Amino acid sequence: MSASPFRRPWRSVVFDVAVSGVVMLFAVTLAAIQPGRWWATAIGVAMAVALLFRRGRPVPVTVVVALLAFVQVVLGWAPMPYDVAVLIALYSVVKYADRLRDGVIAGIVAAVGVVLAATQTSGQVAWYFTAIYYGLVTGAVWLVALNVRTRRLYVLTLEERAATLEREREAEARAAVAEERTRIARELHDVVAHGMAVMIVQADGARFMIDKSPETARVAVKVVADTGRQALEDMRRLVGVLREPSPPESGAAASAADPADLPGQPAAEPVHRRPAVTELPALLDRFRDAGLRVGYTVTGEMAPLPAALELTVYRLMQEALTNTLKHAGVGAAVHATLTHDADAVELRVIDDGRGGGPVTPAPSGGHGLIGMRERVSVYAGSLTAGPHLAGGWQVHARLPIPSCTGTEVIAHGAARGDRG
């Protein structure tokens, strides 16, 4: 419900006005028969007006109502119907006061008022029986208010805790994105630096061969140009990812650390290693040794890919299989499919989720999917991850292949050969 001009929901304002109106109705309609006549009515109206502010100023309202009730005692008037305002004020101060001490003091004052009101109540029963009756009603109101206050504070605590956890989760997600982007920057820096090395080698060769074999020098110069374009393209993607803020991913994303983080897995690759698609079978063998039943299919004509794209495919496969081992457990069956098209490469990893359970309890709140999405976003690709219809989990990534020429393939081949 929208807030009113009184900085409170309209529902609360309407309810308080209705409560005050009932008290005022008692004060006005019984003016002719109650002791004190219009003076008593004025006291009742004043109590009713004070109750309008019982939520925001519970302590002052209780003080005002108590003083007006004490005036009745001094004047010798018996309790009147509008004195229900005393119980309402007592309920409000116990529920809404910042400190429970105020509610306790209000309860003590109300107990004294009960005794005074009982002594002035005319009737055939002894005054202490009347005091017991008033005391039971007042005590019941005080205990109900205390219970409501406890539940209200409990709900506020839960809401504050949920908001704190949400802020922490967003901060962790942003930190994970920043960490993954740093990792991407390091890896793409290696790719770009290697391309520059190829350019230097080819340029030196062209300089020495320009007089002896102009045709060879011409090919070398073209390789230099195409390699430079590829390096600039990789750098452009890198700068684009680092400049564009990505929203934190909500929910608990499955963690995808390197296989070395799990028991029974080999050590991770060196920091500056640049895996390639041709090394995927060796990666799958390591996961087979760790206990997964991995199948692998390659469809389409396998064409050379840019080094940065090969690195992305390798890391996506590694993280998807790591998630399977961590969450499905040893013995799970996995099938990985790598599809080569004319304009894109697709990776699909599907597990049956029927392993022997996680090797270790999977930590909650991991950021594997965040890292995978960051890698895919470098190439403006798409990534879907979720439960599979036949059971288990699936990861499907599609990565568009940047346009490349034949000489770019030569440069890539030279880079691959130089890596060994």
**What pTM, to 2 d.p., does this model score?**
0.44
**357 band by pLDDT with thresholds 50, 70 and 90:** low
Which of residues 293 and 288 earns the better pLDDT score? 293
Distance CA(382)–CA(420), nearest Å, equals 32
Q: Which residues contact 174 (CB under 8 A, 6 or more apart)?
A: 248
**212 band by pLDDT with thresholds 50, 70 and 90:** confident
pLDDT confidence of residue 123: 63
Does residue 397 fall inside a structural domain? no
* CATH number of the CATH domain containing 211: 1.20.5
pLDDT tens digits along 91-132: 899 988 888 888 889 888 888 888 887 777 766 667 777 788
Q: Of 51, 4, 3, 58, nearest to 23 (Cα)?
A: 51
pLDDT tens digits along 66-87: 888 888 878 877 777 888 888 8
pLDDT at 268 over 50: no
Does residue 189 fall inside a structural domain? yes
Does residue 67 fall inside a structural domain? no
Distance CA(106)–CA(186), nearest Å, equals 67
Alpha-helical (H) ranges within 244-266 are none
Does residue 218 fall inside a structural domain? yes
Cβ-count burial of 322 within 10 angstroms (0-12 exposed, 13-18 middle, 19+ buried)? Answer: buried
pLDDT confidence of residue 219: 81
**211 band by pLDDT with thresholds 50, 70 and 90:** confident
Does residue 399 fall inside a structural domain? no
- Based on the structure, what is the number of domains in the chain? 1
DSSP single-letter state for residue 267: P
Indicate the residue type of 23. V
Does residue 104 fall inside a structural domain? no
pLDDT at 269 over 70: no
What is the average pLDDT value for the chain, to the nearest integer?
A: 77
CB atoms within 10 A of CB 317: 24
pLDDT confidence of residue 350: 94
Distance CA(361)–CA(357), nearest Å, equals 9
For 275-303, what is the mean pLDDT? Answer: 85
Indicate the residue type of 5. P
**Segments forming the whole domain that contains residue 231:** 173-243
* DSSP H or E segment with residue 415: helix 406-419
pLDDT tens digits along 176-187: 877 777 777 766
pLDDT at 346 over 90: yes
For 138-145, what is the mean pLDDT? Answer: 90
pLDDT at 304 over 90: no
Pairing of strands 393-400, 344-351: antiparallel
pLDDT tens digits along 150-191: 998 889 889 999 999 999 988 888 888 777 777 777 666 666
Does residue 186 fall inside a structural domain? yes
For 245-261, what is the mean pLDDT? Answer: 43
Distance CA(318)–CA(325), nearest Å, equals 11
pLDDT confidence of residue 358: 55
Does residue 297 fall inside a structural domain? no
